[in-house]
Amino acid sequence: MTVLNPYKILLNGDYSTLIVVLSAATFFRSMCSIIGYNGKNSAAPLIVDSLKRMEYRGYDSVGVATFDSGNILVRKGIGKVAEVNKNLNLGQMSGNIGIGHTRWATHGGVTDKNAHPHSACKKDIAVVHNGIIENYKELKEELMSAGHTFVSETDSEVIAHILEIHYNKGIKEAMIETCKRLRGNYAFVAVFQDGAIGGARYEEPLVVGVTNDGYFVSSDVLGFLEYTDKAIFLENGDICVVDNSKLEIFDSQGRPIAHPITQVAWELGDIDKGKYAHHTLKEINEQQLTVIHAGRQDEAVMNKFCDVLVNAKDIYITGSGTSHHSALIFKHMLARFGKIRAETVVSSESKYALASMDSNSVLIAISQSGETADVLDSVRLARDQGAKILSIVNVTTSSLARTSDACLSTNCGPEIGVAATKSFTSQLALIYNITDRICKNCLATEKAEFVIAVENVISNSASSIRAAAQIKDASDVYLLGRSLHYPIALEGALKMKELAYVHAEGIAAGELKHGPLALMEKNTVVIILNPHDATFNDTISNAHEIKARGATVIGISDRKEDIYDYWIEIPHLKEEAYYPIVEVIPLQILAYQMALAKNVDPDYPRNLAKSVTVR
């Protein structure tokens, strides 16, 4: 497959301010998967398969609607795709036109009635929706006053009713008039009783897949990549209609829009678990390759990226969740090796903390999905103030990548497990690569050793598994680290919350006596991130203080110490800057094994979705 890069590199200029944004590889608000198909093949099997591939986006409930012989048939229920398909035979629904949805609940509980698709009173329209309609209460009251009856608690149902009101004007006019009434962020796809499907987006992703015999309309290229690698990426405010195998794209005024067909050349198709029990375990094991792939960058783009960094007057690094932890590492690496001062800001706080941007500022956004709402909000803030946008993403066809002036890829391939594993270490590997360019290869001599160390940690996971068995019933776990190890303590705590539903807290080891030591007692579990580097002796002292109060101490280190009740060994590294990637992998394995011990699905943590695209 030929790689076609649709992004222009616009890095010319001397910028006095640089803002670095790291988007989470995990989840900070919510998202659902939506898919539509209009073509010559049976729609339901394609839709069910597509929903399985996008299930990481939401898995509370599932539904499919198909059009056949003048009727719209809707089937939906609570559960994952395979379960609902087995119970309701979703894949056997008739018709060559249809839509589907997996839900991550925002408005209304997880019930059959709240599952998508949603219909209106006449049952001549069905809608699937991702996002939040902020004015849905106002719209619902207006519609009910006009005689409309609602059956769900969702904000999404208002879309179907508004479409129904305008349907007699034609599908194009109905789509336009409906979008005019909606406030908030949304992407939706509707199937109509005359056999057409329509889609629209505003601040939520929507992409058209082009096949030889029809079209897909999806929230994610993963939804159709098994069937076509040709995609049209809709821009904000775009509306599309597929009728009689003809695609029309237009703006909110009904004016036609021409978008190029992009050939998607990223290896998204391979999302099978293979020999592994879970996607999460597969992705943990893939890190011995993905940390290498992260370093494979276009030389010209990388050089321009680093030139902007070096010449920036002020640098702000922001991210959410896992990527905020990457931001903390990045800040440390820039200071230590690049002699560059930077500040970090949590993305959700960006509108309060990043108000000083101007036309001399540069925003660098780093994201696994490229669709995280907090980060896109930061990008819009920067754009509104005239800043340039750079990005590092794993999905180079994402909204973030397409709105950027230049884009680097983490190259780690699809990450289906909801909790970030390989995407996090790929972000760190790319951060090291950027740092290495800035400090003129000051880290290069240790890269081979670093890669071997990653392989060894993955291959020798027995000590992590044994430790997980010992602490599986712990209700509270504390993780301590200093310097570069503190962000990894935060990341390890996040993994335990996400995968094992354990209260876990990352603590800066030097702050132990400023409150956290009061929590240390018998049956308390404390994990010490303690490789033999400049932080080793101080952290060992913390371990003694903790052990003296009866707590269980687990040491993650290249050096065994008697103070550890359990020792998780990691390889020794000559360049200590690489330890964060090496030491986070045992924490990923530990959290995964604790999830198995609790009999919970590590791929799909409760209440969480992969990438959070609504507020």
Closest CA to 516 of 524, 124, 284, 39: 524
Nearest partner of 583 among 563, 556, 564, 555, judged by Cα = 556
Which alpha helices (H) appear in 279-321, and where do they start and end?
Answer: 279-285, 287-293, 299-311
Sheet order of strands, 525-529 included = 503-508, 476-481, 525-529, 552-557, 566-569
How far is Cα 214 from Cα 35, in angstroms, rounded to an integer?
Answer: 13
Q: Are 40 and 97 in contact (CB under 8 A)?
A: no
Distance CA 434, CA 334 (A): 9
Give the residue numbers marked as catalytic. 32, 610
Tell me the one-letter amino acid at 257.
I
Given a contact cutoff of 8 angstroms between Cβ atoms, the answer to whether 81 and 52 are in contact is: yes
Distances (CA, A) of 360 to 309, 513, 557: 13, 43, 44
Question: 113-142 burial string, b = 16+ CB within 10 Å, else e?
Answer: ebbbbbbbbeebbbbbbbbbbeebeebbee
Secondary element (H or E) of residue 503: strand 503-508
- Cβ(26)–Cβ(420) below 8 Å: yes
The neighbour count for residue 162, using CB atoms within 10 Å, is 25
Is the separation of the CB atoms in 75 and 49 below 8 Å? no
- Looking at this protein, which amino acid is placed at residue 309? L
Q: Is 58 left (phi over 0), alpha (psi -120 to 50) or beta?
A: left
Starting at the earlier edge strand, list the strands of the sheet with 97-103: 71-78, 61-68, 97-103, 33-39, 214-218, 207-211, 230-233, 262-263
* Among candidate residues 74, 24, 20, 69, the one with its CA nearest the CA of residue 47: 74
